[in-house]
A and B are shown apart, each in its own frame.
Chain A
Amino acid sequence: MHMSYLARFWDSTIGKKIVMAITGIVGVLFVLGHMSGNLLMFKGAEAMHEYALLLRTSMPLLWAARLGLIAAVALHALAAFQLTQRSNAARPQKYAKSAPQVTTFAAKTIRYGGVLLLAFIVFHILHMTLGQVAAPGFVHLDPYNNVRQGLANPLVAGFYLLAMGALGMHLYHGTWAVFRTLGVARPSPTPLKRRLAVVLAAVVVLGFAAIPLGALVGAFPEAPSPVMAEGH
């Protein structure tokens, strides 16, 4: 009985949207934490190293968080993919003339932005967590120098900035829509207004973009690796 009940929920368009909303909230909270941690780059190599150690206080907890985040991204993307397919099937014949009135650039491009972000997440893990791609001189637990060197390539830094643009668009639409999808927004005479979402998107984009921009303008001077200093 429980399976069929869950299957029914997942099968409905609103059920999938609710899954997207909840996994989206997980993503927003993660992104805010990640962005705050990133800003330690401006404090230096030692601060970044300690931050890396702090995250590793408990490896089982870290892995629980990692798996939870991967599951959230996977569910979010799967629901989005299936809903997009239903949406395409719902209008087999397009209009010869269409004139959208109030939809935003963010809403219109959110599916493409989502695909870009998914590609970015994979690249970013290979780049900064595993040090396998475009990561010259990668040293485990020395995030300061890994970021400094990893983002010295303008092409790589450019890709990071592009992805942050997509993230900003995603948050501009998503953090406003999430309250409506979950049905907790207050009734409003102007339901399309979204002040909180604008602020949140701007803070996240600027906070994240500061790192690749900082790397490009040389705000992160070379520093001795704290890992070497500790003699690991």
Chain B
Amino acid sequence: MRLTLHVWRQSGPNATGKLETYPMDGIEADMSFLEMFDLLNEKLTLEGKEPVAFAHDCREGICGSCNMMISGQAHGPWKGATTCQLHMRAFKDGDEIWVEPWRAKAFPMIKDLVVDRSAFDRIIQAGGYISVNTGGARDANEILIGKEVVDESMDAATCIGCGACVAACPNASASLFTGAKITHLGLLPQGQPERDRRALAMVEQMDIEGFGHCTLTGECQEACPKEISIDVIKRMNRDYAVAAARYVEPKETAGAG
């Protein structure tokens, strides 16, 4: 298979970037998209050129690092797949493919196709946790949870934090990501103590990072490699509204303890 690649090249955060065109030959349908990039980098290295920087780790769709905007679609044309799970049989001989990094102010450029997604980590740090007392290990089935609740929570927990939702959103909003975390923890009994604080803190951090707002276009749900539903955004909105209405900042008390 012959292909023409247009790949975003940018040597550093402040450098001027541009799309470079690379004609590719000998691409096999069974190759993954990243294997095709390995081939490109092999070729560039042999030609004495700088290989394309792209992030990748597990290459099996669970780490969320292989992020590429492929011809305008986050992770390419396959539904429910990351870039590493995308195979070249999705394309046909003679295709032109545009490959760009995630574009968002909150995801600053590092190099070529690699952006910094630490903003997601800071949203998690703001409230994406539960508090558990230390001590003896507790019985796993001590708290009974309905299967439907577990299923819904697990659907949200499949989020791998890749950022495709932000990349695909016309407002570069992180609502699907933040909504998934708030839903995943807020549905479970263990997530109740911090539920209000979590919704307020995570939403506030999401805004501080400079992500846009949600206009419910549905693009995030379509791009998400884990097919997380925009229902999680609805849940985040409700949790935020309820928390904003009833949450009172704890009073400072003299002498901690």
Q: Mark A104-138, 1 if CB is under 8 A from B, else 0.
A: 10011010000000000000000000000000000
Which B residues are in CB contact (< 8 Å) with A13?
173, 203, 206-207, 211-214
Interface residues of B in 223-253 (CB under 8 A from A): 223, 229-231, 233-241, 244
The one of A17, A87, A177, A188 in contact with B170, judged by C-beta atoms closer than 8 angstroms, is: A87
- Shortest A45–chain B CB gap in Å is 44
Report if A103 contacts B (CB, 8 A).
Answer: yes
**Per-residue interface assignment for chain B, residues 89 to 107, with 1 indicating a CB less than 8 Å from any chain A CB and 0 otherwise:** 0000000001010011110
Instruction: Determine whether B4 belongs to the interface, using a CB cutoff of 8 Å to chain A.
Output: no
- B212 to A96, Cβ gap below 8 A? no
Residue B150 at the chain A interface, CB threshold 8 Å: no
Q: Which residues of A lie under 8 Å from residue B80 when comparing CB positions?
A: none
User: Given A87-B213, A90-B104, A95-B72, does the pair A183, B241 have CB atoms closer than 8 Å?
Assistant: yes
Task: Name the residue in A94, A182, A187 with the highest tally of chain B Cβ atoms < 10 Å from its Cβ.
Answer: A187
Cβ of B28 < 8 Å from any Cβ of A? no
Instruction: Report the separation of the CA atoms of residues A16 and B210 in the bound assembly, to the nearest whole angstrom.
Output: 15
Question: Are B98 and A89 within 8 A (Cβ)?
Answer: no
Are the CB atoms of A14 and B73 closer together than 8 Å?
no
Chain A min CB distance to B235 (Å)? 6
Please name all residues of chain B whose beta carbon is closer than 8 Å to the beta carbon of A33 when the two chains form the complex: none
Given the complex, which residues of B lie within 8 Å of A95, measured CB to CB? 69, 72, 100, 103
A214 near B: Cβ within 8 Å? no
B19, CB-defined interface residue at 8 Å: yes
B: interface residue count bin: 35 or more
Q: Give B208-223 interface residues, CB cut-off 8 Å to A.
A: 210-219, 221-223
A3 within 8 A of B: no
Kindly list chain A residues whose C-beta atoms are within 8 Å of the C-beta of B59: none
Q: Are B221 and A191 in contact (CB under 8 A)?
A: yes
Q: Are A191 and B219 in contact (CB under 8 A)?
A: no
* A101/B73 in contact, CB under 8 A: yes
Q: Is B6 an interface residue (CB 8 A)?
A: yes
* Nearest-neighbor residue (CB-CB) of A18 within chain B: B241
Contact of A96 among B19, B219, B236 (CB under 8 A): B19
**Smallest CB gap from B79: residue in A:** A101
A222 in contact (CB, < 8 A): no
Task: Report A-chain residues with C-beta under 8 Å of the C-beta of B239.
Answer: 183
Q: CB distance B237 to A87 under 8 Å?
A: no
A84 to chain B, nearest CB (A): 9
Given contacts A17-B213, A17-B237, contact A192 B218 (CB under 8 A): yes
Contact residues in A for B238 (Cβ distance below 8 Å): 182-184
Q: A90-B105, A184-B238 are in contact. Are A9 and B244 (CB under 8 A)?
A: yes
How many angstroms from the CA of A212 to the CA of B206 in the assembled complex?
46
The chain A residue with its CB closest to the CB of B233 is A180
Pair B217/A83 contact, Cβ less than 8 Å:
no
Contact A86 B229 (CB under 8 A): no
A12 within 8 A of B: yes
- Selected from A8, A97, A103, the residue in CB contact (under 8 A) with B218 is A103
Q: Are A100 and B217 in contact (CB under 8 A)?
A: yes
Number of interface residues of A (CB under 8 A): 48
B57 within 8 A of A: no
Nearest residue, chain B, Cβ from A103: B217
CA distance A103 to B223 in the complex (A): 12
A103 touching B212, Cβ below 8 Å: no
Q: By the criterion CB–CB under 8 Å, are A87 and B204 in contact?
A: no
Q: Is A55 an interface residue (CB 8 A)?
A: no
**B152 adjacent to chain A (CB < 8 Å):** yes
- B105, B218, B234: which contacts A185 (Cβ < 8 A)? B234
CB-CB contacts of B177-218 with A at 8 A, as 1s and 0s?
000000000000000000000000001101100111111111
| Nearest CB of A to B74, in Å | 10
B158 within 8 A of A: no
Q: Is B171 an interface residue (CB 8 A)?
A: yes
Q: Are B217 and A87 in touch, CB under 8 angstroms?
A: no
Instruction: Tell me the chain A residues, 66-110 only, with Cβ under 8 Å from chain B.
Output: 83, 86-87, 89-104, 107-108, 110
Q: Is the CB of A91 within 8 A of B172?
A: yes
**B41 interface residue (CB < 8 Å to A):** no
- For the complex, is B11 an interface residue (Cβ under 8 Å from A)? no
Beta-carbon contact of B72 and A98 below 8 Å: yes
Q: B213–A86 contact, CB under 8 A?
A: yes
Q: CA of A198 to CA of B210 in the docked complex: distance in angstroms?
A: 33
Indicate whether A15 reaches chain B with its CB closer than 8 angstroms. Answer: yes
**B residues engaging A (CB < 8 A)?**
6, 8, 19, 69, 71-73, 98, 100, 103-106, 152, 168, 170-173, 203-204, 206-207, 210-219, 221-223, 229-231, 233-241, 244
